[in-house]
Chain A
């Protein structure tokens, strides 16, 4: 398989970004709607910019399940943000990578010369995923509204069954692959089995994720988070998923959530259902010069890959391998890695796959192993397991945080990658060299 070198035709710069804290879903609609989250992140970001909101050429957000009253949510965000009537906006969807897709779309548009300054990012308020009516109930309602006479109404009423009232949980629907009939957790079980990832390895990884996030919070290493306030004035300024008391013993007590009762993937070693949004400003060299913008990093290239839906968790390996090869880079050329923690099993399997020569040759179409991703360079401030994975937002979050890490560590190069429900992987290379 020939490897394509697909850099952006014109340089694309990440100027800066902000995100909301990620808020735990607590079984009922959270305090912020999808748009509220995006507005909070974006307006704080705009205050850091020397230009006004109407200077954007486009607004592009990713969202996997926006509210029913927020179709094309990006346009709503743009208008509420004060971009004015004339800034066009559209919304992208690539499941868990929607937030990264928005950055790629923005980068392509800048590279193409169509745009110079774009607001892009990702949004998800998973707590606000709707409850739906069962098809039987919808059919019954249609009959009920159609029944004109009293006798017809009584007849229809007689057909109503208690089971019709059971709601359909859209969130669970969204997390199940309709092609292979497996839930996302089951695909994680599958690759854990394939690569011999044990329950203990997963739990150990999960505990580490919490500890890393805790330390990062203590050391103020998450400068991209902006404080937000709800209707009652309550302040949210930290990722809520973090557990200071997380331990292997405690996690060991949790029951498997997907392959019951003998599985290994539990809520404790999976990403958390959360609400959040991340927002970034991307610019061309011309815009950087015109507005005298500080540059955070350069967005070098993005690779997308497809694989079997029932092994979707390995998606990052399939995207990272060709990306590195196309630029003749090795694993050790990358200073820091962000691989979204959908499941501990899945992150660990990706690491295993990339150093497994056999897997690389048979499945990634390359002649040797990619190499080892050192754990002290991977997700160094925690990830989806500790801070949560608001589906559409995570892709933008990991790119933004990776850029902030490179800046703080004066490092050169980083890769952000995530697995995508439906059997895909995405990886984005950013650099600070010469920036």
Chain B
């Protein structure tokens, strides 16, 4: 057998026949750390499959040679190069063709999944007869295509709904959520979950005994009957509509249509291809891919290997400090949390335990996280820490006192960071012997949800410090965005005029429901009024006051009055909205007013401030600005960021519209000079 035609290696695929006669096809993509289904990888697989058809082995096993995982998905760059629907269709049909050949092999085909298996990778394993996953915690199986505005196209929709209960199959594709090996076994996506040491024995067992292949359980068959299918589709579409509108995100709806209309029909495969091909051309896809690349860019801003901290010391156990400490402990760091007295730590520990219970599945993982979070009223952790984060209340003298106390005890190579959002870094650093050490690590609330951290740098901040702070962000799973020390940094600076405009609109008598609806229709995850309530009006007021003279706007009187009256938003149960069990009570009969004008006023303020920030060089370039606003505020991802949206809608027309608004509503709408460089 050793001389078989089958054992000839290609540049990406290694072939090996073992003693039992099982052919191992091992994907080891050349010059890459992870496997991607590029055109070349597929082409080579295609010709290997042709040979297998002629000379059948006992069984065929697909596995990866990469330690990181199986296959990360299709090659996104290839999709970007597609210029029309026909080209897209050809690309998709080619992938489908290869996988159909796998399915058509008359010998057993087995996929061995260890580590991640995403998108096209999952579609490949679905084309196999059997799937074995390793119980390694890094094993994740998913079809995340919707996150890029498309849906599975290489037969994933066809094969997953044929194998798995449609509710679970569709939910998996609609959410793009990746499953653990155990969850994948539970829904029937994989046949065995085994420890790494038993994987080869499992393969041999299947190859020699060929147990019956998994079929759709009877409940699944029932749910897939024509009329019931329409009902399921109706229910699922309603659920999707709560999260994404069809105008902004057509892919989930298209996916449901493919299943509903063509399930069981021989043309389903072709319809799946056509549906994806029509989606690929949309702006949504282009912008979502842009977001994906922006994320990769932020991830690439620092090299994690150059700075490998172990111990984080957090000073101040308020909501921010406590949550930062808990998050770092969750992510594997030893954390000492300092407060003046132990009693002030109670709340932080209670929240930390809740976070660990939510995020960690097993008791021993929770114990480990709890063990890593250490109360430290004497500040003994300062001497051990690689990263020190000061997160006490916003008071210059108090912060100075802390810096003076800790600087002599800090390690020479420790990073000293502040989470301040309103005091200039330069002012704070003045208390230090080595002022250049201080860097800003500006986290957003809620820490566990917000993916961005602003890395705030002064003029004298060494690049090495920015790099260390960025690398640290990456270590705790947050995206770092270096920003210039300037009031509001980037995210708050851009967000505040938008929030202020919302309050101004409200002062003019427009219903808050109308204001929030205009923003949500634009694609914001939450309306500005509800957002202000959620952040807390006291915090909004302090940030706004801090920025008002700098950005040149008036702080609305109503905001001051509400803070004085202690109606601070969601946390007090009453703000612009009234709250019941943490949810705002909205008047659905409110007058929606001139929606387009409301939307324009909100968005223009945000766009204009973005242009100003670009002009001032708060961040290095337009892409970083868009990235910051998307990951820091949730700005409609399918629009690709504020300045990308500005370009898409035409910079000139936006400027002209703003001039009209300037005459009608005041100088705050005067187009910023920064637009010329957009």
Q: A-side interface residues toward B, CB under 8 Å?
A: 39, 43-44, 47-48, 50, 52, 80-82, 226-229, 231-235, 237
What residue of chain A has the Cβ atom nearest to residue B383's Cβ? A50
Complexed CA–CA distance, A226 and B345 (Å): 13
Contacts A39-B371, A233-B353; A44 near B376 (Cβ below 8 A)? yes
Q: In the complex, how many residue pairs between chain A and chain B have their CB atoms under 8 Å apart?
A: 50
Query: What CA separation (Å) do A52 and B353 show in the bound complex?
Result: 25
Q: Known contacts A47-B380, A229-B375: does B334 contact A82 (CB below 8 Å)?
A: yes
Q: Nearest CB to that of B348 among chain A residues? A: A233
29 pairs from A and B in contact (CB 8 Å cutoff): A39-B371, A43-B374, A44-B375, A44-B376, A47-B374, A47-B376, A47-B380, A47-B381, A47-B384, A48-B378, A48-B380, A50-B383, A80-B368, A81-B371, A82-B334, A226-B375, A227-B342, A227-B375, A229-B375, A231-B353, A232-B353, A233-B347, A233-B348, A233-B349, A233-B353, A235-B342, A235-B343, A235-B345, A235-B346
Determine if B367 is an interface residue (Cβ-Cβ < 8 Å).
yes
| B interface residues (Cβ-Cβ under 8 A, vs A) | 334, 336, 342-343, 345-351, 353, 367-368, 371, 374-378, 380-381, 383-384
20 additional A-B residue pairs with CB within 8 Å, beyond A232-B350, A235-B343, A235-B345: A39-B371, A44-B374, A44-B375, A44-B376, A44-B380, A47-B374, A47-B381, A47-B384, A50-B383, A80-B371, A82-B371, A227-B342, A227-B345, A228-B375, A229-B346, A229-B349, A229-B375, A233-B349, A233-B353, A235-B346
Which residues of chain B are near A232, meaning CB under 8 Å?
350, 353
Interfacial chain A residues near B345, Cβ < 8 Å = 227, 229, 235
Q: Which residues from B are CB-within-8-Å of A80? A: 367-368, 371
Chain A residues whose C-beta falls within 8 Å of the C-beta of B346 in the assembled complex = 229, 233-235
B113 to chain A, nearest CB (A): 29
* Chain A CB within 10 A, most for which of B336, B349, B384: B349
Give the shortest distance, in Å, between B380 (CB) and chain A (any CB). Answer: 4
Q: Measured between C-beta atoms, what is the minimum distance from B348 to chain A in Å?
A: 7
A82 → B minimal CB distance (Å): 7
Interchain CA distance A81-B334 in the complex, whole Å: 10
Task: Give the distance in Å from the alpha carbon of A43 to the alpha carbon of B384 in the complex.
Answer: 12
A contact residues around B351 at 8 Å (CB): 233
CB < 8 Å neighbour of B350 from A43, A44, A52, A233 = A233
Chain A residue with minimal CB distance to B313?
A47
Residues of B within 8 Å of A227, CB to CB, are: 342, 345, 375, 377
User: Which chain B positions have C-beta within 8 A of A233?
Assistant: 346-351, 353
Rounded to whole Å, the gap between the CB of A396 and the closest CB of chain B is: 20
Which residues does chain B contribute within 8 Å of A237, judged by CB atoms? 342
Contacts of A48 in B (CB 8 A): 378, 380
- What residues on A are CB-neighbors of B375 within 8 Å? 44, 226-229
> A43–B371 contact, CB under 8 A?
yes
Closest-CB distance, B338 to chain A (whole angstroms): 10
CB distance from A183 to the nearest CB of B (A): 36
For the complex formed, measure the closest distance between the CB of A220 and the CB atoms of chain B, giving whole angstroms: 12
- How many angstroms between the C-alpha atoms of A47 and B349 in the bound complex? 18
* Chain A proximity of B376: nearest CB distance (Å): 6
Question: Which residues of chain A have C-beta atoms less than 8 A from B384's C-beta?
Answer: 47, 52
Question: Complex: how many Å from CA A226 to CA B336?
Answer: 13
Given the complex, which residues of B lie within 8 Å of A43, measured CB to CB?
371, 374
Chain A residue numbers with a CB within 8 Å of B380 are: 44, 47-48
Q: How many Å lie between the Cα of A263 and that of B350 in the bound state?
A: 46
Q: Which 8 A-B pairs have the closest CB atoms?
A: A233-B350, A227-B342, A47-B380, A229-B349, A233-B349, A233-B346, A231-B353, A235-B346
- Bound-state CA distance A227–B350 (Å) is 14
A81 to B368, CA, bound (A): 9
CB distance from B308 to the nearest CB of A (A): 14
| Chain A nearest CB, measured from B668 CB (Å) | 45
Q: How far is the CA of A310 from the CA of B353 in the complex (A)?
A: 47
Q: B344: nearest residue on chain A (CB-CB)?
A: A235
Report the minimal beta-carbon distance from A360 to chain B, rounded to whole angstroms.
46
Q: How far is the CA of A232 from the CA of B350 in the complex (A)?
A: 5
A44 contacts across to B, CB distance below 8 A? 374-376, 380
In whole angstroms, how far apart are the Cα atoms of A52 and B334 in the complex?
12
On chain B, the residues within 8 Å of A50 by CB distance are 383
Closest to B347 in A: A233
A235 surroundings in chain B (CB, below 8 A): 342-343, 345-346
Q: What separation, in Å, do the CA atoms of A228 and B351 have in the docked complex?
A: 15
Which A residues touch B336, using CB under 8 A? 47
Chain B nearest CB from A61 CB (Å) reads 16
Whole-angstrom CA separation of A229 from B381 in the bound complex: 18
Chain B nearest Cβ from A125, distance in angstroms: 15
How long is the Cα–Cα vector from A47 to B375 in the complex, in angstroms?
Answer: 10
A228 partner residues in chain B, CB cutoff 8 A: 375
Of chain A, the residue at the smallest CB distance from B373 is: A229
Q: In angstroms, how far is the closest chain A Cβ from the Cβ of B29?
A: 35
User: Which of chain A's residues has its CB closest to B368's CB?
Assistant: A80
Q: State the CA gap A48–B348 with chains docked (Å).
A: 22
Q: How far is the CB of B324 from chain A (nearest CB, A)?
A: 17
Which chain B residues border A39 with CB–CB below 8 Å?
Answer: 371
**Counting chain B CB atoms within 10 Å of each CB, which of A39, A80, A82, A229 scores highest?**
A229
**Chain A positions within 8 Å of B342 at CB level:** 227, 235, 237
- Give chain B nearest CB distance to A116 CB in angstroms: 21
By a CB distance below 8 angstroms, the chain A residues around B377 are 227
B388 to chain A, nearest CB (A): 14
Cα of A233 to Cα of B322 in the assembled complex, Å: 12
Within the assembled complex, what's the spacing in Å between the Cα atoms of A44 and B347?
19
CA A52 – CA B380 in complex, angstroms?
Answer: 13
B469 shortest CB reach to chain A, Å: 23
Q: Which residues of B contact A82 (CB under 8 A)?
A: 334, 371
- In the assembled complex, the Cα of A82 lies from the Cα of B348 at a distance in Å of 23
In angstroms, Cα B367 to Cα A82, docked, is 13
How far is it, in angstroms, between the C-alpha of A44 and the C-alpha of B348 when the chains are bound?
Answer: 17
Docked complex Cα distance between A217 and B367 (Å) = 31
- Give bound CA distance, A398 to B6, whole Å: 75
Q: In whole Å, how far is B207's beta carbon from the nearest beta carbon of chain A?
A: 37
The interface residues of chain A lying within 8 Å CB-to-CB of B371 are 39, 43, 80-82
Query: Within the complex, what minimum Cβ distance (angstroms) separates B368 from chain A?
Result: 7
Q: Give chain B nearest CB distance to A48 CB in angstroms.
A: 5
Q: Which residues of chain B are near A52, meaning CB under 8 Å?
A: 384
Cβ of A47: which chain B residues have Cβ within 8 Å of it? 336, 374, 376, 380-381, 384
Residues on the B chain within 8 Å of A231, using CB: 353
Q: Shortest beta-carbon distance, A292 to chain B, in Å?
A: 12
- Give the CA-CA distance A303 to B323 in the complex, in Å: 50
Q: Could you tell me the distance between the alpha carbons of A52 and B383 in the complex, rounded to whole angstroms?
A: 11
* Bound Cα distance A43, B334 (Å): 10
The CA of A237 and the CA of B375, in the complex, are separated in Å by 12
Query: Could you tell me the distance in whole angstroms from the C-beta of B343 to the nearest C-beta in chain A?
Result: 6
Complex Cα–Cα for A235 and B376 (A): 13
Q: How far is the CA of A237 from the CA of B376 in the complex (A)?
A: 13
Could you tell me the distance between the alpha carbons of A44 and B377 in the complex, rounded to whole angstroms?
10
**Least Cβ distance of B309 to chain A in Å?**
14
Choose among A43, A47, A48 the residue with the greatest number of B CB atoms under 10 Å from its CB: A47
The CA-CA distance from A237 to B377 in the complex, in Å, is 12
Q: Chain B nearest CB: distance from A281 CB in Å?
A: 13
| Chain A nearest Cβ from B73, distance in angstroms | 37
A226 to B374, CA, bound (A): 11
Give, as a whole number of angstroms, the nearest-CB distance from B519 to chain A. Answer: 36
Q: Give the complex CA separation of A235 and B375 in angstroms.
A: 11
Contacts of B343 in A (CB 8 A): 235
- Give every chain A residue within 8 A of B383 (Cβ-Cβ): 50
Residue of A nearest to B380 (CB): A47
In the bound complex, residues from chain B placing their C-beta under 8 Å from that of A226 are: 375
Most buried by A among B336, B342, B343: B342
- How far, in angstroms, from A372 to B311 measured CA to CA in the complex? 51
Q: Which residue of A lies closest to B377 (CB)?
A: A227
Q: What is the CA–CA distance of A232 and B349 in the complex, to the nearest angstrom?
A: 7
Residue of B nearest to A39 (CB): B371
Bound state CA distance, A427 and B659, in angstroms?
89
- Considering the chains assembled together, what is the distance between the CA atoms of A80 and B368 in angstroms? 7
The CA-CA distance from A228 to B367 in the complex, in Å, is 15
